[in-house]
Structure 1
Amino acid sequence: MKKQIVTLVVVVAVSGAGLTAAATEARAANRQLENLTLDQALDMAESLHPQLAEARAMIEAAEWRAKQAGTFPNPEAIVGAQQIPFSGSAPSEKEYVAGVGQTIPLSRRLSKARQAELLDREVRARGLEVKHRDIHRRVHSAFATALYQEQAYQAQTEIQRNAEKTVATTQARVEAGDALREDLARVEMELARAKVESQRAEALREQALITLASAIGDATLAIKSLSGTLEATFEIPTLEALAANLAAQPESELAEADLRARAARVDLAKAERIPDVKVEVLYHRLESSQQNTFDVGLSIPLPLFNRSQGKLREARAEVVAAEARSRTTQNELTARLRESHLQLTTALANSGTLKTEILSRAETVLKAAEARYAAGDISLAEILPVRRDWAMVQLSYLESLREVMQAWAEVKAFTAKP
């Protein structure tokens, strides 16, 4: 009977492990992405990126903090007894009190505290826009790199395929006596070099896809392939037009919101220097005379030792620091705009030169050399450098397109709000 129970437990455990493994594999399969486009990657970042989720949660926390800051203080219940004798023979002069006390904030402290917290919420909201823009830029750049690596891998695969055909052709010519074994060894070296470059390109492609998944916000995503092209046409805004839009950038608005929030903290620190008033209303029972009385009390803290001078000066210093941060933000935005605009202009010029002046010529040179090699006018040693140059031109053009796409991602951030 015990053996049957043990067997049953083992079978159930193994079955449960199998179901868990199957569920894990199913979830992994659902996370595999094919033909991912840039727009899809940006949409996924909106819902998956933990930094955006954190920023939204911090905004909600600031909202509730603002609501709490404007809440009136709770009243206090007061119950007491006085002149309680230690022995029963003493005359009865006991007194009982019961009532409520209420702290009344003066100088509009509650409204100023609520305003300060609302401005802090605005700072967090502007920070979300900055983070949103930064994540879009990172996803765009990572997508450009991954797309470049994918197309570079395809180009290297094609180069390897051509090298394999050349080896087979040369092998046949050697066997027919039309080529030397030295030529065969040379093309086999080219094939080995092509295989190494192809493997390297594949590894870089996988790394770029992992980086893209991380930029989207979930490094466990298995991105299998991308859909898109590095060649795109767009109109470059002038540097003057972009510079005129700097004040509307999320970074500038964040700095301005931070400055307003720090100024509100100064107003709050001034208001907190005025002490609150506490009012007490008590019912008083005198046992000795069997009388009921009514007491009213008022208490005000005397600001003799703590006048909140330190807090006020701290708030004023924070305003000065916020002003300095605002100027720093403007300097950084201006420098970044000028640099990214220059990078885009240069990348477009380089890409255009490669496309119009080098790619076509490299294709012409390769076709002429291949024709002469097929006719027996040039040797294998002369055709191989031409093929290498053609492959380098193709990869250089892809690299220039990647630089254009990355530079455009930087400049595009200055064109409009997300």
Structure 2
Amino acid sequence: MLVGAVDGCDCGEPLATLVPDAAVSPASLDWGTVAVGVPDVAEVQIGNRGTGALDVVAVTIEPADAGFRLLAVPTRVQPQRAEVVPVELSAPFPGDYVAVLVIVTDDPDTPEVRVPLRATGGVGRLVVEPEPIDFGVVHEGPGASRVVTLRNDGFDFLSVRGASFVDGAGFVIDTATLPASLGPDESTVLTVTLLPTGAMLDGLAEPLLRDTLRLDASTGPQDVEVQARVNLAPVARAVERDTRQTTVKVGAGTPVFLDGSETFEPEGDDFVFQWSVAERPAGSAAGVVGQGQPTVRMTPDLIGRYVVRLRTTDEYGAFREADVTVLPRDLAVVLSWEPAADAPCRAFDDDACAAMTADERARRCCGQSDLDLHLVAPGGALGDYGSCPVACEDVAFCAEEGDAHVDSCRST
């Protein structure tokens, strides 16, 4: 462009040419490693260092299908100004992406500027936190759980299809959150639980459990070491004191003595006894007498099933439990009746009945009735008790009124 004086004017000023001068920056664009499927935008500036306006003839990307696209293209850049060309990268797959941004202007010296474009679509990377998974000391009884975070620290989606333990040392994993698909920076959690027992330590030189948590991920199998040191609980042993059995049959109102004196602590720690009635008939108020002692008493107050539970706990909180089941006698009958309001026996109070002879009292006073129940063998007669039940020592025991031999004379 030439700028001079108007025709007929001799101003003495020289003619000046207004020339554009393109300046493109940066000279290249490198996105580095990017998340797959997540668009990312970078900018190229077209500057004009000249004295005349710079016309932008064309802006293209070669090749057009390389994963880059133009979001906007300026048409003119004024002198000493700059315009922005936003370039969007979308990497649909892991791998390298390469292209060239071609800028064509009316710059007389450099009509075409080529800007290399480069990016790498990254891959997913599974990160486990914490790693390794160290439970520290875990007490038998209460056990312990640890929350494990699975996070995608990479640049592409990954999936975790499942998780399992390699050695079966006793750790348990809750896989309710799997399978999981994780995008970049996304995470999910697993819960690992250990409820240790003495059997888990059989054959080990020290009370240390180790295992390997194997994650089945789309990026490949990934192993995480897991370990825990176990504090064993006292070995609870509870029996009925006299029979030394864990199941006993007694009549309602008969005291039962429960003995836990054979309990021992394998590691020598101090421990305490705690007894409870874990199961009882509806309406029963039976409890233990002698709480905290190795031997306690429980008296069934209703006919039904009772379970007395012993929990032995060491000084660190590790515990085990043992149960004794108290059952009713094989035949237990409770009879109750109330004389009618106009019954003749109501004419005599307690003092009057006490003054009578036994025979007269049995005939005239209330509450003197009796009911005899006799068990006979099928097809037998009164007094025929049939064959002795399994484990019975003496058939005569079956006819006893008391409970002294009830456990040696019951049918299995």
Range into which the TM-score falls when normalised by the shorter chain: under 0.3
Structure with higher Rg: it is 2
Q: With structure 1 as the length reference, what TM-score do the two structures score?
A: 0.20
The structure with more helix, counted as a fraction of residues: 1
The structure with more strand, counted as a fraction of residues: 2
Q: With structure 2 as the length reference, what TM-score do the two structures score?
A: 0.20
- Which fold has the larger relative contact order, with Cα–Cα distance below 8 Å and residues 6 or more apart in sequence? 1
